[in-house]
Chain A
Amino acid sequence: DIQMTQSPSSLSASVGDRITITCRASQSISDHLNWYQQKPGKVPKLLIYRASNLETGVPSTFSGSGSGTEFTLTISSLQPADSATYYCQQSDRTPLTFGQGTKVEI
């Protein structure tokens, strides 16, 4: 199985800050990497697919980059509504696997 490791596990930042979450794969996965946001008690929401493609309706403050084994999710200007846990997920091969999550507090 491909292991996905996110860092940091949690972070605290202020409104307006730029933050970056890193996701590393245990082997190369090309650009087969997706990002999700999950708020407490809610369903995960797709933010970014294929490493850098913004899902329809997702604010442009979110962006993704990377390829191979290292990927980043950036929020350019943190908003109160961005308080959530963020997960990366590799889609290069089955079993599809997720990172352990990064909790973002405002």
Chain B
Amino acid sequence: QVQLQESGPGLVKPSRTLSLTCTVSGGSINTGGYYWSWIRQHPGAGLEWIGYIYYTGGAYYNPSLKSRLIISIDTSNNQFSLKLSSVTAADTAVYYCARTSDYGDSFDIWGQGTMVTVSS
């Protein structure tokens, strides 16, 4: 079955760039029918969609983050990535990657999540 796994630093200094990678196993990322999403959850809070990317490279971003955000896809390694620049403490959160069905844009498979803390 398809599984997703986030990887990247758990601690990022303010003003630096947060970089995370999601590795997809058990299935190909290079297929239609799905978008590949990033979602975050601030401590004790709700869920925020960051953006998603299609296997063709077309990406959609949350306007609230768009000026600082790049989502990319590497089909040869079955991975997609997030880069969020100029981070502040407000970017401290659990970051999830998720498979997004293009029938209903529902997040049907999630990674386990990775906690990222922005602190000097």
Contacts and interface: CB of A to CB of B under 8 A. Distances in A.
Interface in A74-103: 87, 89, 91, 94-101
B10 interface: no
Contacts of B64: 95
Q: Nearest 4 pairs between A and B by C-beta?
A: A91-B105, A49-B106, A96-B49, A34-B106
Interface of B: 46-49, 60, 62-64, 96, 101, 103-108, 110-113
A32 B111 contact: no
Given A34-B105, A89-B106, A99-B46, 19 more contacts: A32-B104, A34-B106, A36-B47, A36-B107, A43-B112, A43-B113, A44-B107, A44-B110, A46-B106, A49-B104, A50-B103, A50-B104, A50-B106, A53-B104, A87-B47, A94-B62, A95-B63, A96-B49, A98-B49
Contacts, number: 58
Interface residues of A, number: 23
Contacts of B107: 34, 36, 44, 46, 89
Given A32-B105, A49-B106, A101 B112 contact: no
Contacts of A43: 96, 110-113
How would you classify the secondary structure of chain A's contact residues: helix, strand, loop or mixed? loop
A105 interface: no
Nearest to A99: B46
